[in-house]
Amino acid sequence: MKIAVCIKQVVTREWQVRVNESKTWVRDQDASWELNEPDAYALEEALRLKEKHGGEVVVISAGPARVAQVIREALARGADRAIHVQSDGLAAADAFAVADALAGAIKDEKFELVLTGLQSDDQGFAQVGVVLAERLGMAHSTIIMDVQVTGSELRVKRELEGGWFQWLTMPLPAVLTIQSGINQLRYATLKGIMAAKKKEIRVAALAQPAAPRQRIVSIYVPEKGKKTELISGSPADAAKTLVARLRDQRVIE
């Protein structure tokens, strides 16, 4: 199978977030970066499918030059080669712009399967995989917990609400968004890290940036504060007052 895995570089969870001067994104000059965790599960699933069915795993990422860090990591984990759609404008782009950039790099490669993580750890909209499938004209399914390949078809297990699951049969080629926890992640070995240095990373220029459909107006770090209010009266009166306070502050509806 020829499988593409779309990966994203995100700020590490341990980094103390700092907002940039325009208050529209994080200050990335001094940020620490890592592979988006849901994408790591998508990569692992692709590597397991390759081990079972043979073929090639290609990682694709869209973003500035620093994205090469996570591309090398994915190659060290076992991906065969990579495509980097390089553009500074994609660092904080919306799902439509990112999907268009990825689609441009994918469309001529004739992939049988395209995997993405369910969502990114930074914006978390869970839309890139869905929009990408529409751009490529492929069948797609989301929140995947199991992938089985039989000939020219897929049988996938979707996670639904309330502990329910759904099995679907889909034609290939297809786009799937992979749920975190679907498998156990492997990590790069010394041999893999050395081998990654010799693997191909094709840098693709962004032909024509897509017009954004969404715009971040403002972001901020929530302010921490402490406040204590004592409610007096009988237990019944105190309970009514407490419920009223919670409703007023939209803790409960």
Of the pLDDT bands very low, low, confident and very high (cuts 50, 70, 90), residue 191 is: very high
Of the pLDDT bands very low, low, confident and very high (cuts 50, 70, 90), residue 91 is: confident
Total number of domains constituting the chain: 1
Higher pLDDT residue, 14 or 85? 85
Parent domain of 111: 2-205
Q: Is residue 142 part of a domain?
A: yes
Q: Is residue 106 part of a domain?
A: yes
Q: Is residue 94 part of a domain?
A: yes
Q: What is the pLDDT of residue 26?
A: 81
The domain that holds 133 is classified in CATH as 3.40.50.620
Higher pLDDT residue, 223 or 115? 115
Q: Is residue 87 part of a domain?
A: yes
The token duo for 210 is 């897509």
- Three-class secondary structure of residue 130 per DSSP: helix
Q: CA triplet 73, 79, 84: central angle to 5 degrees?
A: 70
Q: Is residue 171 part of a domain?
A: yes
Q: Is residue 238 part of a domain?
A: no
pTM, rounded to two decimals: 0.84
Query: Under a CB-based contact definition with an 8 Å cutoff, are residues 113 and 49 in contact?
Result: yes
Q: Is residue 34 part of a domain?
A: yes
Q: What is the residue-averaged pLDDT of the chain?
A: 90
Higher pLDDT residue, 30 or 63? 63
Query: Which residues does 41 contact at the CB level (< 8 Å), separation at least 6?
Result: 117, 178, 179, 180, 181, 182, 183, 185
- Three-class secondary structure of residue 179 per DSSP: coil
* Mean pLDDT, range 33-37, rounded to an integer: 94
Q: Is residue 229 part of a domain?
A: no
DSSP string, 36-60: -HHHHHHHHHHHHHHHHH--EEEEE
| Span 92-139, pLDDT tens digits | 888 999 999 999 999 989 999 999 999 999 888 899 999 999 999 999
